[in-house]
């Protein structure tokens, strides 16, 4: 059974790192590490980093280990 991340993540185009942490997807520190390793694509608006909903869904799907 595959998890439907599209229905889990709230609607929106961009989420700042604090919002991602509040959704309990990634802690800010871990998100920054993944961004530094270029594993997450970001958009910088002002001095804040934002992740798109599509990037979050792709990251979760790519890093999910499914049960047999």
Task: Indicate the number of domains in the chain.
Answer: 1
Residue range(s) defining the domain that contains residue 12: 5-62
Could you give phi then psi for residue 42, rounded to 5 degrees? -125, 165
Confidence of residue 1 (pLDDT cuts 50, 70, 90): low
Does some domain include residue 20? yes
List, as own/partner pairs, every contact residues 20-26 make where C-beta atoms lie below 8 angstroms and the sequence separation is at least 24, other chains included. 20/51, 20/56, 25/56, 25/60
The pTM is what? 0.84
How far, in Å, CA of 16 to CA of 52, rounded? Answer: 9
Average pLDDT of the chain is 94
Convert the pLDDT of each residue in 26-54 to its tens digit: 999 999 999 999 999 999 999 999 999 99
Does some domain include residue 68? no
| pLDDT score for 33 | 97
Does some domain include residue 48? yes
Residue 15, pLDDT above cutoff 90: yes
The CATH number for 45's domain is 1.10.10
Does some domain include residue 22? yes
Convert the pLDDT of each residue in 55-66 to its tens digit: 999 999 999 998
């Amino acid at each position: 059974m595959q998890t439907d991340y599209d229905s889990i993540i709230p609607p929106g185009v961009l989420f700042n790192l604090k919002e991602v942490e509040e959704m309990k997807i990634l802690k800010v520190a871990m998100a920054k590490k993944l961004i530094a390793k270029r594993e997450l694509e970001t958009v910088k608006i002002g001095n804040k980093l934002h992740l798109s909903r599509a990037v979050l869904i792709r990251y979760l799907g790519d890093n999910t280990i499914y049960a047999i």
